[in-house]
Chain A
């Protein structure tokens, strides 16, 4: 079945440093979503990418969809302690259901 891998699994950064997580699929994706889950909480929708090569920004967060629509990235500029959590991508290949990536757990050291 479809698998969505994310790297890195964990990332510890100093506050103010940048952070990037990558999402990779072996199959071409229809669209991809990104979620943030705080410790003890539930996933919160961040963004959806649909078009090849699409780039979207939300304040310090930049999301990118690869040209081949097989990978995506989330980049956070100048991390803050409030950015702590696990970031998941969720992808679909044309069906109604999304498969979640393995997640990247971010820890920000003050």
Chain B
């Protein structure tokens, strides 16, 4: 149980195009979904927190007009990289949070999407 999928797993696009990444929790309804970016050999950097039906909360330094997040349901969140440029090339990972009890909250990560902008 607690499976999170991401689509697509790989994207290669031309500079200036927009790319949409989907994150789905397959067998549970997520309390919250998170979007991270990871550059090679570095840690995961939180980009934004997404709750169903409300605007995403972006971390400092993350442009909300550049990285559009839509959280349509308790099982689906999308991240759109608008007008992508080579510096946006990275590994984008989503996670869905499942609260089991009290303060017990576990994040389940999707397999990630590798974006290469040419």
Using a CB–CB distance below 8 Å, which chain A residues touch chain B? 1, 30-31, 33, 35, 41-45, 48, 50, 88, 90, 96-103, 105
Kindly state the separation between the CA atoms of A50 and B60 in the bound complex, as whole angstroms: 27
Kindly state the separation between the CA atoms of A99 and B110 in the bound complex, as whole angstroms: 17
Can you list 23 A-B contacts with CB-CB less than 8 angstroms, sorted by A residue number? A1-B60, A30-B103, A31-B103, A33-B106, A42-B93, A42-B109, A42-B110, A43-B44, A43-B93, A43-B109, A44-B109, A45-B109, A50-B104, A88-B44, A90-B107, A96-B49, A96-B105, A97-B46, A97-B49, A98-B107, A99-B46, A100-B44, A102-B43
Using a CB–CB distance below 8 Å, which chain B residues touch chain A? 32, 34, 36, 41-46, 49, 60, 93, 95, 97, 103-112
SS class, residues of chain B in contact with chain A = strand
Given the known interface contacts A43-B93, A45-B108, the answer about A101 and B103 at a Cβ–Cβ threshold of 8 Å is: no
Residues of B close to A33: CB separation below 8 A: 106-107
Kindly state the separation between the CA atoms of A31 and B105 in the bound complex, as whole angstroms: 10
Residues of B close to A88: CB separation below 8 A: 43-44
